[in-house]
Chain A
Amino acid sequence: MTSKTRIPIQLQINGHLHELEVEPRVTLLDALRDHLGLTGTKKGCDQGQCGACTVHIDGQRVLACLTLAAQAEGRAITSIEGLADGDGTLHAVQAAFLEQDAFQCGYCTPGQILSAVACIREGHAGSDDEIREYMAGNLCRCGAYPHIVAAVRQAALEIASSMETAS
C-alpha cells in the first residue's frame, strides 16, 4: 500500500467557502463531519444504501458517502445546517417534520429532510404513493414512515400555496 499525498481542495458549503487538505479517498461525508465539524449529516451504512448522508449538490439530492470530497469541488453543497434561514426560521419541511412528529430516534432525519426538500422541488410529492416511491432511498429503522409521508405531504402543500401567494 502506497501512501498518497494529501490534496488541497475548496468546498462551498451552505454558502461559505472552506479550504481543507484531504487524502483523495476522503468522502464528502467524512469531510463534512470529521474535517469541518458539520455533524448534522449522518453516517448510517456508509455504503449508499440508507440515505442518512443525503445532501444537495447544485440543488440535487445525492449521497455524501459515495461522493469524493475532491469531486465536489466547484459545486454548491447544502447540508442540513444550511437549510434554515439566517434568522433561524425553519424551512417548511423542517417545521412539518416537527409538527407531524415525523421521527423517533432522529438519526435518519437530516437525510429525510434534505431528501424531502428535493422530492418536493422535483415535483414528486403529488400523492402519498408518489412520496413513498420517491422517498424510498431514505430508510428509517424506527419505522416512522407514516408520519414522514404526512410531513412531506404537508410541506408540499404549504410550499405550493406560498408560491401561489408570491406569484
Chain B
Amino acid sequence: MRDFSYLRANSIDAARQAAALPGAMLLAGGTTLIDLAKCGVTEPEIVVDITHLKGLDGITVDDRGAMIGALARMSSVADHAEIKSRFPAVSDALWQAASAQLRNMATIGGNLMQRTRCPYFRDPANFPACNKRTPGSGCSAIGGVTRGHAVLGTSEACIATYPGDLATALVAFDAIVHLGDRQVAVDDFFLLPGATPEREHAIEPGEMITAISIPASAAAGRSTYLKVRDRQSYEFAAASAAVGIEFEADGRTIRDLRVALGGVATKPWRARAVEEALKGKLLEPDTVRRASLLAIEGAVDHGANHYKIELAPRVVARAILKMGETA
C-alpha cells in the first residue's frame, strides 16, 4: 500500500474542506478504502479520517420514517429494534451482508460508496485494462470470466456488478441520501456506467454523506430481503430481491408493491415493471411468477452469467410469495 498523509477531521466542515483537496479521500470503516489501497486500485494522497466525528451515528425512527447517521455501523442498524419492525428488508439486507467483523466496521455512508467486486477491476497488476479504473483503457471482463457480472444496466464500457445489499433495499423504499443540505434519491445517487463507468455516484468533491433517510410506508413495514448465493453465508449475492407489499382490506389484493434486485445489475435495480403489473391483482403464484419475468426485461448476458437471467425472476417471485404467506 502506497503511503499517504493522515488527517483526522474534527468537524464536518473540516472533513468536507479536506476532502476537496487534490488526492484526498474520506476514511470511515475502511473496509473498502484500505482494501482497495492494498490492491493498488485506489492511491489516496491524503486520507481524511472521519470516524472520530461526533453525532453522526444516530438512528431515529418515528411514524414518518427512519433517519440514519452516516457513521452508524451496519451492525447497529441491522440490530436496531425499530428498523427490524418497520423496515425488516433493511435489517435483513444488512445482517446477510459481509461478516460480523466487517459489519461492526463498515458505516452506512461508506456502504453506499462500496465499489464493485469485479475481479478485473480489483487486479490492476494483471489486468491493466479497466474503464472504471482507468477511463478509456478497455474492459477486461468482456470476453473474460463473467460468472459474477451484471446482466442489467451494462454498457460496452463496463459490465461490473454493483455488489451491495443495503442499497437494494433502500432503492425499493425510496430512501434519500443526505449530502449535508443537498438531498438525492438513492435511485439517482447510483449512476449507470454508460460511457463513464469511473463515475459511480452523484457526489461531488468536497461533499460528504451525512445521513440516509427512509420514508415510512406500509410496504416497508411488511418487507423482506431474499439473498441467493453460492455459499450460505459471507458471500455476495448471485441474485437478490428486496420486496415490500401492502394488501387491500381483503388481505389478498395487492395495493402497493416494491421490488428491487441486487447482484444482477450495475446499480441497485428497482423493478417498477413488476410492481405495476401486480398492483390491483390478487396474489396468486402463477400471476406473480409471470409478472416477475418483467424484472429482467432488457437483460444482456455475457456467457457465464446467463444463469442470472433465469435466477433473478425466480428470486423475485419467491420473495413476493413469501410476503403473501404471512398475510
Which positions in A face B, CB cutoff 8 Å? 1-4, 7, 23-25, 27, 46-48, 51, 54, 60-63, 65-68, 70-71, 74, 115, 118-119, 122, 124, 132-138
Contacts and interface: CB of A to CB of B under 8 A. Distances in A.
B6 interface: yes
Contact of B52 (A74, A136, A137): A74
B100 A71 contact: no
Contacts of A7: 6
A70 B3 CA distance: 13
B167 interface: no
Contacts of B1: 25
A24 to B, nearest CB: 4
B290 interface: no
Contacts of A135: 100
Q: Size class of B's contact patch?
A: 20 to 34
Contacts of B75: 60
Interface stretch (B27-35, B216-224, B277-285, B316-324): B27-35
Contacts of A119: 100
A68 B6 contact: yes
Contacts of B99: 51, 136-138
Nearest to A137: B99
A66 to B, nearest CB: 5
A63 B233 contact: no
- Residue among B34, B51, B100 with the highest chain A CB neighbour number at 10 A: B100
Contacts of A4: 3-5
A133 B5 CA distance: 38
Given A25-B3, A27-B34, 9 more contacts: A7-B6, A25-B2, A25-B4, A25-B37, A46-B38, A48-B35, A60-B75, A66-B31, A136-B99
A38 B49 CA distance: 25
A63 B38 CA distance: 15
Contacts of B56: none
A-B interface, 9 closest residue pairs, ranked by CB to CB distance from nearest:
A137-B99, A24-B6, A136-B233, A136-B234, A60-B104, A4-B3, A66-B34, A25-B3, A137-B101
Interface in B156-192: none
B101 A62 contact: yes
